[in-house]
Amino acid sequence: MFQLLCLISAILASALSVQGDEVHHIVGGRKARYCEFPHIVFIYTSKNGKHFGCGGALIDDRHVLTAAHCMAGNITSSDILIGSLDKRLMPTWIPVARFIKHKHYKNIGTTVLHDIAVLTLAKSVSFTPCIKPIRMADEDETFVGQCTIAGWGKTGYNQPTANVLMRADVPLMPKSKCSRLLPIVLSQHVCAGSGILNDKTTCKGDSGGPLMCKSAVDGSQVLVGIVSYGWKCDTGLAVFTKVSYYLSWIDAVKEVIP
């Protein structure tokens, strides 16, 4: 109970931070294994005269899923980089031909709504053992064990971003518990983390990256959430956009011709 009270105090004392507008690294994580997450992409975007990095998940040979806030602002160009743990040594760069943010995306201060975007690539991705898509979780799918977060963000609020992909295992937090800790948690959200101060979580630069869980149906790793928002990387808790909530919207967007 003391830890929960501390968490609430920390949240109320710090501003909500979408984890990519300032560009969020896995806190308390370790280096990912070679080819461990072949679907993870690094999104390199130029907007408002500056360069920004976000994470994303390859869902087929032409489309990447990321957070809407990663694609907000006056974007002049965007590319996805894939195929290496080191974002400086990516073997495959592909321009983004078009991106569509959810039309109801909005940061209202106490939460972020409809924080999801689909990127359509300029050309198809060639699959290899280290480059291939991830299956999106079904609406009623259940999971076993802990889930996994990964990204090139910061290891702490005042730390630099990582060049090498980091990963950590975190538990899904029941919605009932998350709702007691946070002002607004909706059906479109997934909470993950222990809720223990300074425990493993996402941080700045991890935005748009995947929350991956092991399916109870077939044991495969599936895409459950997209890194959306958190606070100052010390609450042991982050909020993700729930991918299964948007399956129909994603399918519709993918049908739009670039």
Which residues form the catalytic set? 69, 115, 207
11 DSSP assignment: H
Alpha carbons 256 and 142: distance in angstroms, whole number: 31
To the nearest 10°, report the CA torsion of 29, 182, 118, 130: 20
Report in angstroms the alpha-carbon separations of 71 from 116, 150, 179: 9, 19, 28
Alpha carbons 14 and 18: distance in angstroms, whole number: 12
CA nearest 211: which of 181, 241, 256, 179? 241
Q: Is the dihedral of CA 31, 46, 73, 187 positive or negative?
A: negative
The residues facing 243 across adjacent strands are none
Contact 76, 169 (CB under 8 A): no
The two tokens of residue 209 are 């990256």
The two tokens of residue 17 are 């931070």
